[in-house]
Amino acid sequence: MPAKLSFSSEIVNLLYNAETNPVQSCIQCGTCSSTCPAADFMDHSPRNIIALIRADLRKPVLSSNAFWCCASCYQCTVRCPAGIDIAGMMYGLKRYSMWRNRFKKGSIGADFSRRFARMILKNGKSFEPALATPYLFHYGLRTFFYDARNALALFMKGRLPLFPKRLKRSAKFRGILSRIIPMGRAA
Ligand code: SF4
Ligand code: SF4
């Protein structure tokens, strides 16, 4: 019977370009957290997330909003003195959390990603009006009117379709996607 992987090893395995164990080479210098433009919105900074992974603390990591707030700007990755791809790790945590179906309840990031994955599995293409509809009033009326104005401008320029389009041979496409974890299990 194969040995059960620790949480930390599972996350390292999701870092496709990783050699050895990059998480263990973190020196906790905090450069990633201080350079991160989204850190103020995170309940755990990138440095903290790495420390929690190293300590194998699955629950606080998966219930964190940190990786859902990550803007994928890669500032942390290019500045890390230990060469750790922190942005890649944030992507890995998103995949892992969806794959395991473990994320903070009410998290818009997780909910949105799930809806997006389901839509791609079904149609092979994104359809923005359907994706945005559940969140229209989430940030209040002011944001709703702001978004509505942007949507109208996009529509007038022909950049916002009224009806969804389907990829030809979508069943074949679904077969390819179903081999990818976690997207293949999102439906
Ligand atoms: S910048 Fe790199 S070495 Fe420093 S705390 Fe962040 S991950 Fe660790
Ligand atoms: S890639 Fe994500 S974690 Fe890294 S600095 Fe940008 S927003 Fe922060």
For the cut 90, the answer to whether the pLDDT of residue 107 exceeds it is no
Q: In whole angstroms, what is the distance from residue 113 CA to residue 122 CA?
A: 14
pLDDT, tens only, 53-65 = 999 999 999 999 9
pLDDT computed for residue 156 by the predictor: 93
Ligand number with the minimum distance to the CA of 48 = 1
Q: Tell which one of 8, 12, 24, 29 to mutate to probe ligand 1, the residue whose CB is within 8 A of the most ligand atoms.
A: 29
**How many domains are contained in the chain?**
2
Same domain for 112 and 94? no
Nearest to 69 by CA among 88, 44, 48: 44
> In this structure, is residue 2 part of a structural domain?
no
Average pLDDT over residues 124-135: 89
Whether 66 lines ligand 2, by a CB cut-off of 6 Å, is no
pLDDT computed for residue 1 by the predictor: 59
Same domain for 68 and 21? yes
Prediction pTM value? 0.82
pLDDT computed for residue 169 by the predictor: 83
Which residue, by CA, sits nearest to atom 5 of ligand 2?
Answer: 36
Nearest to 50 by CA among 16, 79, 90: 90
- Domain range enclosing 27: 7-99
**Mean pLDDT value across the chain:** 87
106 or 69, which is more confident:
69
For the cut 50, the answer to whether the pLDDT of residue 184 exceeds it is no
DSSP H stretches of helix in 55-101: 58-62, 66-69, 75-79, 86-99
Same domain for 20 and 59? yes
Q: Tell which one of 12, 23, 24, 31 to mutate to probe ligand 1, the residue whose CB is within 8 A of the most ligand atoms.
A: 31
